[in-house]
Structure 1
Amino acid sequence: MSIIRIAGICGSLRRESCNQQLILRAQQLCAEQISEARLDIIDWSQLPVYNQDLENDPPKSVLKFKEEIANSDAILFATPGPLKNAIDWASRAKIGDHGDVFSGKPVAIIGAGPGSYPGSSGSGRAQLILRQTLVALNMIAINSPSVMLTGAYEAFKEDGSLKNGVMEEKIVKLLKELVILHKRLKSTV
C-alpha cells in the first residue's frame, strides 16, 4: 500500500502563527493516527511576489514549490494568510514541467483565528473566500467537518496539542475524509 501524500500549505509565513501551530498539530495527528497518509508542510516563504513577466523563466523556488504540489495526492490549506501569492504561482499551467498542479486534487481547509468573543468565526470568512478560489482551480473540497479554531492564542498546550480534544478529533476526521476522497477519485481514473 502506498502512502498518500498530503501537502500542507499554511497561509501564514510567521513561524509562531496560530495557523502554523494548527497545521503542525495536524501533521502530528496524521502521523499518530492515520497510517496510510503523511502530511508534509511545504515551505513557500521563498516565493517572490507573483509577476507574470517571470513565467517564462521562473525562479527555482517557484519550480520547487510546483513540484512539491504536483507530487502530492491531496492538499491541506491552513488559512487565513497571504495564500494568494502561492496559489498564483502554482496555478500557472505553463510554468515548469508539471502543468496545472491543483486541478482535480482533493483539498481540505483548516484555520485559526485569535477571537474568542461571541460571533467570532475562527477563520470562517477566510475559508469561504478560499473555497471560491478552489472552485476556479477545479479542486474537490471536503466540506465537513469544519475546522475553524477560535481563541487560538489560548488554544494550544505547551506540547503543541490542542486543549480542546473535540477539535483534535475534527482534524483527524477531516484528514481521514481527505484520504477517503483521494481513494475515491483515484478509483474513478
Structure 2
Amino acid sequence: MSVFKIAGICGSLRKDSFNKKLLLRTQQLCSEHIKGATIEIIDWSQVPIYNQDLESNPPQSVLDFKNSLADHDAIIISTPEYNYSIPGPLKNAIDWASRPVGDRGQVFAGKAVAIIGSGPGSGPGSSGSGRAQFVLRKSLVFLDMVPVNKPLITITDAGHAFNEDGSLVNKHFENNIIKVLQNLVKLGKQLKIDPE
C-alpha cells in the first residue's frame, strides 16, 4: 500500500511562529491518527522575490520548491494573517510555484488542499487567520486546486493555545484537525482515481 504524501507549507518564515507550531502539531496528529498518510513540511525560505525575467531560467530554489510540491499527493497550508490578507512572502512563493517553470508544469491544478491557521489576537475583532484563509482560498481556487471546506481551523490567542509539548490546549481543535486530515486524504485519493 503506497503512502499518501501531504506537503505542509507554513505561511510564516519565523522559526518559532505560531503557524509553524500548528503545522508541527498537525504533522504529529497525522502520524498518530491517519493511517497510510504522512506530512512533510516543505522549506521554501530560499525562494526569491518573483521576477518574470527569471522564468526561462528559474533559480534552483524555485525548482526545488516546485518539485517538492509535485511529488506530493495533497497540500496543507498553515497561514497567519497580515493586514487582513495572507503574508506577502507566502503569496510570492505561490506565485513562483504557479508559473510553468521547469519540467513539472502545473503543480497545483487538480490537487487537494486544506488551509488552517492561527493568530495572536483575541477578542471580537480577531479571526485567527480566518480572513487570510478566505483570501488564500480564492487564490487556490483560481489555480484549479480542490479545497477541503470543513471543518475550519482558525485559532485565536495563539500565544496561549499551545501546551509546552506542542499539543493544543483546546482538544476540540485537535479533533477538528484530524477531521481536516481525514477529509484531505479522502479528497486527494478521489482526485487521483478520477482527475476529471
Q: Which amino acid aligns with 1:59?
A: P
Cα deviations by residue, 1:51-88 (Å, 9 ceiling, x for unpaired): 11111111111110000000010000111233111101
Q: Secondary structure at the match of 1:161?
A: coil
Residues 23-57 of structure 1: per-residue CA shift (max 9 Å, x gap): 11100111111121100000000111111111111
Which letter does structure 1 place at the counterpart of 2:182? K
- 1:157: how far off? 0.6
| From 100, 113, 123, the counterpart of 2:106 | 100
Question: Whole-Å Cα distance in 2 between the matches of residues 99 and 184 of structure 1?
Answer: 22
SS in 2 for 1:77: strand
CA positional deviation for 1:119? 3.7
* 2:85 counterpart of 1:86: no
Q: Which residue of 2 aligns with 1:54?
A: 54
Residue ranges of structure 1 left out of the alignment (5+ in a row): none
Matched, 1:112 2:109: no
Distance 2:123 2:170 in 1: 17
Partners in 2 of 1:104 and 1:116 — Cα distance? 36
Cα distance, 1:115 vs. partner?
A: 1.1
Partner of 1:63: 63
Query: Who is 1:132 aligned against?
Result: 138
Which is worse superposed, 84-93 or 114-123?
114-123
Which residue of structure 2 lines up, in the alignment, with residue 122 of structure 1? 128
| Runs of 5+ consecutive residues of structure 2 not aligned to the other structure | 81-86
Structure 2 SS opposite 1:177: helix
1:86-144 superposed Cα distances (whole Å, 9 cap, x missing partner) = 10110001x11100100000000000011121242100000000011011100000000
Whole-Å separation in 1 of the counterparts to 2:17 and 2:178? 21
What is the rounded CA distance, in whole Å, between the counterparts of 1:134 and 1:161 in structure 2?
28
The percentage of counterpart residues that share the same residue type is 61
Q: Say yes or no: does 1:148 pair with 2:154.
A: yes
Q: How many residues align?
A: 188
**2:189 corresponds to which residue?**
183
Provide the TM-score with structure 1 as the length reference: 0.97
Counterpart residue type for residue 172 of structure 1: I
Distance 1:188 1:102 in 2: 16
Alpha-carbon displacement from aligned partner over 1:137-167 (angstroms, at most 9, x marks no partner): 0000000000001110110011111111010
* Aligned residue among 167, 170, 180 for 2:176: 170
User: Counterpart in 1 of 2:84?
Assistant: none
Question: What TM-score comes out, normalization by structure 2 length?
Answer: 0.94
What residue in structure 2 maps to residue 35 of structure 1?
35
- Segments of 4+ in structure 1 off by > 4 A? none
Secondary structure of 1:47's aligned partner: coil
